Amino acid sequence: MYNLHGWLLLFLVIHVAIHTKHLININIELDINNTVYP
């Protein structure tokens, strides 16, 4: 059962990392749009 718990934890970390990266990319795109087209 410890192995399963480890996999769930790993999956959660990866999931959060992907979403965080996605949100950062969206914010960068918005910043670029605001800079290019004020």
Does residue 22 lie within any of the structural domains?
yes
User: In the prediction, which pLDDT does 13 show?
Assistant: 96
Does residue 34 lie within any of the structural domains?
no
**Is 38 a residue whose pLDDT tops 60?**
no
Does residue 33 lie within any of the structural domains?
no
**Half-sphere exposure (CA, 13 Å, Cβ side) for 35?**
6
Q: What's the domain range around 3?
A: 1-28
Instruction: Dump pLDDT digits (tens) for 3-36.
Output: 888 999 999 999 999 999 999 998 888 887 787 7
Does residue 20 lie within any of the structural domains?
yes
Dist. CA 33–CA 35, nearest whole Å: 5
Q: What is the DSSP letter of 35?
A: H
Counting the structural domains of the chain, the total is 1
Which position has the higher pLDDT, 23 or 38?
23
Long-range CB contact pairs, 6-10, < 8 A, 24+: none
Note the residue count of the chain. 38
| Strand (E) or helix (H) holding 1 | none
